[in-house]
Structure 1
Amino acid sequence: MTVLVIGGTGKVGTLLVTTLAANGAKVRVLVRSEDRVALLPTGVDPAVVSIVDDPDGAQAAFDGIDQVFMLNRPVATEVVEGVLAVLLARRAGVRRFVYQSVFHAEAHAHLPHVASKVAIGTAVRNSGMAWTLLSPNHFFQNDWMTREALSDGRYVVPIGGVGCSGIDAQDIAAAAARVLSSDGHDGMDYPIVGRQVLNGAACAAAWSEVLRRPVTYDTDPARWRASSPMPAWLGLDLMTMYETFGRDGYIASEREMDSTVRLLGRQPVDYADYVTRTAAQWGLS
């Protein structure tokens, strides 16, 4: 199996590339600059090129590839990059395209970064290649946005009071690895969701338990936005997303939860276990 991973140095991609390489797959990772190559595990083949800036040059990265896994960054050119990648894969004769979208994407297409994924997902479905979509809920790893605030006893990720069926990036990577290394997944759009419904207060309580000191949920999303540097368009995009979560929640059905368990072959990671692991990694515990 030869896999090209697009988005292989992020939260999910790093874990996926490491897993695939450890399991004996030949892995090529498309990176946009030479400085990203150092982030790749030994034995992984880097392809340093920008699909948007040099699509003709990027074609070579797809040569000899059996399967593509793609996870695009939320950037202003996301649709262009994603659809071009599908086109380049088709031209290279790629057999299967696995794309990471988001949970209930169509219902959240009023958000720019989700609308991009809806458009790319349509291109994947209509590509003529075998395809699989992975559609995760809110990442536990979005807690990086509250790392500094935790030192002041505040949890600032503004997920609201209704809750999300959040998921660990480890589980998303495990699901992707299973899809890429086994058959029976063609034409599937898999929800990747947790068993727990986590709201802001519950997340703060989990951190308080692990850190052994009071952590309260800061309910003002404006303070989160002010403390999270990002492009202006993305700041408004994500603020609107969290306003939607606060009003409606982002909750999976029992059937969707069961689907995740079947795909993983186990229960997803518990948020408390994620917090314990992350607090140790951050030197907070």
Structure 2
Amino acid sequence: MILVTGATSVIGQKLCQLLSENKKAFRAMCRKEDQLQKLRAQGMDAVLGDFKDAEGLRSAMKGCTTLFLVSPPNEDQLESEKRAIDVARQEQITYIVRVSASDANLRSSVPWAQAHAHIDHYMRASGMPWTILKPTAFMQNFLTMTKPISKGYLPQVGGKGLVGYIDAQDIGRVAYHVLTEGDHKRATYYLNGPEVLNMKDAASTIAKAIGKKVRYVHLPSFAFRVLLRATGASRWLANGLIQQYAEVVAKNHDHDLGEEVLRLTGHQPRSFTEFAQENRESFLNW
């Protein structure tokens, strides 16, 4: 049985959908009671679990042999995922598939990119079989900017940097194939979408999808920090996002476009145009 952490994320939802449709044995882990009830209403074996709670993780893993490990960027991510790996090693887990990041680097100034690198090293050293998925930036990140986009502008600090944005649903699709096929252990896969885009390209694509002009506005870092803080981002998150976009994206994070998504799933990764069209109402009606 597979334990799916992050079951309510876009990646987790797509993975659970595919596992359910193909009648694979899995258990979905979530943190909140309302999420638990929603998953169970969909007929899933769902449990509450928190990366900060070793005993809760231990309970969630009971009867499982495979762990899908994913968590959002947070200040406790390094210790939380190391704890999950430790518990998995103590229980009956024999294989871990983990979502890392394409910019993971032990010396990165982006806190979660550095954490990802440390976690990847820790998992490899655990002695357990593993597979690491390293996606580029998610297309879903643009959904955090629906308010200004609905008003006709996309504020960012990404400059002219290029990124092969990937739809998080494609990561879930890759995870399904890796988890249910037997020949991916000790493999690291870099995942990207079908094209590289800069912020101006993204704004233009969204504009075509919604039938309304959207202009990319390159902000100085201090102004972007104010915007992020005003929309509820913590100081830690705001500083990390500025480092990620101003230092990584603006200076180009355009890995050569590989075809890992197509090779692993048999499906072409979704384009940014498809993503923008699917989320048209969100961009229009904030």
For this pair of structures, how many residues does the alignment match?
281
Amino acid at match of 1:277: E
Give yes or no for contact 2:28–2:47 (8 Å, CA) kept in 1.
yes
Distance in 2 between the 1:38 and 1:159 partners? 39
1:200 maps to what in 2? 199
Q: CA deviation at 1:281?
A: 5.5
TM-score by length of 1: 0.92
Distance in 2 between the 1:108 and 1:274 partners? 33
Structure 1 gaps of 5+ residues are none
Distance in 2 between the 1:120 and 1:283 partners? 38
Q: CA deviation at 1:157?
A: 4.3
TM-score by length of 2: 0.91
CA 1:246 to 1:180, structure 2 compared with 1: closer, same or farther past 3 Å?
A: closer
Give yes or no for contact 1:70–1:100 (8 Å, CA) kept in 2.
yes
Q: CA deviation at 1:107?
A: 7.0
Q: Secondary structure at the match of 1:135?
A: strand
Q: Secondary structure at the match of 2:119?
A: helix
Of the three residues 231, 234, 242, the one matched with 2:234 is: 231
Amino acid at match of 1:177: Y
Q: Does 1:56 align with 2:55?
A: yes
1:253 maps to what in 2? 256
Q: Secondary structure at the match of 2:166?
A: coil
Q: CA deviation at 1:280?
A: 3.9
Q: Secondary structure at the match of 1:165?
A: coil
Identity of aligned residues (%): 25
Distance in 2 between the 1:210 and 1:108 partners? 39
Q: Secondary structure at the match of 1:115?
A: helix
In the TM superposition, what whole-angstrom CA distance separates every residue of 1:94-143 from its partner, at most 9, and x where no partner exists? 12100000013127732111111112111221222210000000100001
Amino acid at match of 1:233: W
Give yes or no for contact 1:31–1:48 (8 Å, CA) kept in 2.
yes
Give yes or no for contact 1:178–1:264 (8 Å, CA) kept in 2.
yes
Q: Secondary structure at the match of 1:218?
A: strand
2:5 maps to what in 1? 6
In the TM superposition, what whole-angstrom CA distance separates every residue of 1:158-202 from its partner, at most 9, and x where no partner exists? 433121011001111110011011121111110011121111100
Q: Secondary structure at the match of 2:259?
A: helix
Alignment of 1:126-205 (within 5 A): 126-205=125-204
Q: Secondary structure at the match of 1:156?
A: strand
CA 1:119 to 1:81, structure 2 compared with 1: closer, same or farther past 3 Å?
A: same
Distance in 2 between the 1:90 and 1:166 partners? 33
Q: How much is the aligned-residue C-alpha RMSD, in angstroms?
A: 2.0
Distance in 1 between the 2:240 and 2:63 partners? 37
Distance in 1 between the 2:64 and 2:78 partners? 22
Amino acid at match of 2:48: V
Amino acid at match of 1:51: F
Give yes or no for contact 2:177–2:264 (8 Å, CA) kept in 1.
yes
Distance in 1 between the 2:264 and 2:183 partners? 11
1:43 maps to what in 2? 43
Alignment of 1:19-98 (within 5 A): 19-40=18-39, 42-52=42-52, 54-98=53-97
Distance in 2 between the 1:245 and 1:111 partners? 9
